[in-house]
Amino acid sequence: MGNFGAKIDKFLDIFIDADGYKTVLEGLGNTLKIAVLGLVIGIIIGTLIATVRVIPKYKLLPRILNSICSFYVAFFRGTPMVVQLLLSYYVALPLMGINLPSVSVAVVVFGLNSGAYISEIMRGGILSVDPGQMEGGRAMGLTFGKTMTAIVIPQAVKNILPTLGNEFITLIKETSVVSFVGALDLYVAFNRIGSNSYEFMVPYLVMAVIYIILVLIISGLVKVMERSLRKSDRSH
Partner 1 sequence: MIEVINLSKSFGELQVLKDVNITIRKGEKVVVIGPSGSGKSTFLRCLNCMEVPTSGNIFFHGVDLADQKVDINIHRQKMGMVFQHFNLFNNKTVLQNIMLAPVYVEKKRMRKLRRSNPENEKIKTVAEIKKEAKANAMELLKRIGLEDKAGEYPSRLSGGQKQRVAIVRALAMNPDVMLFDEPTSALDPEMVGEVLELMKELAHEGMTMVVVTHEMGFAREVADRVVFMADGYIAEEGSPEQLFGNPQNPRTQHFLQSIL
Cα Rg, the chain, nearest whole Å: 22
Q: On the CB side of 235, how many CA atoms lie within 13 Å of its CA?
A: 0
Distance CA 43, CA 167 (A): 10
Minimum distance from residue 57 beta carbon to partner 1 (Å):
14
Minimum distance from residue 60 beta carbon to partner 1 (Å):
13
Of 82 and 127, the one with the shorter C-beta distance to partner 1 is 127
Of 151 and 205, the one with the shorter C-beta distance to partner 1 is 151
Q: Among candidates 90, 84, 54, which has minimal Cα distance to 69?
A: 54
Of 137 and 203, the one with the shorter C-beta distance to partner 1 is 137
Minimum distance from residue 222 beta carbon to partner 1 (Å):
18
Q: Among candidates 41, 50, 32, which has minimal Cα distance to 113?
A: 41
Q: Report long-range pairs for 219-222 (Cβ below 8 Å, ≥24 apart).
A: 219/165, 219/169, 221/165, 222/161, 222/162, 222/164, 222/165, 222/168
Q: Among candidates 109, 107, 108, 90, which has minimal Cα distance to 99?
A: 90
Q: Angle at Cα 234 formed by Cα 230 and Cα 236, nearest 5°? A: 180
Of 103 and 152, the one with the shorter C-beta distance to partner 1 is 152
Minimum distance from residue 121 beta carbon to partner 1 (Å):
18
Minimum distance from residue 35 beta carbon to partner 1 (Å):
27
Residues of this chain that bind partner 1 (CB under 8 A): 130, 132-133, 135-143, 146, 150-151, 154-155, 158, 231-236
Of 36 and 229, the one with the shorter C-beta distance to partner 1 is 229
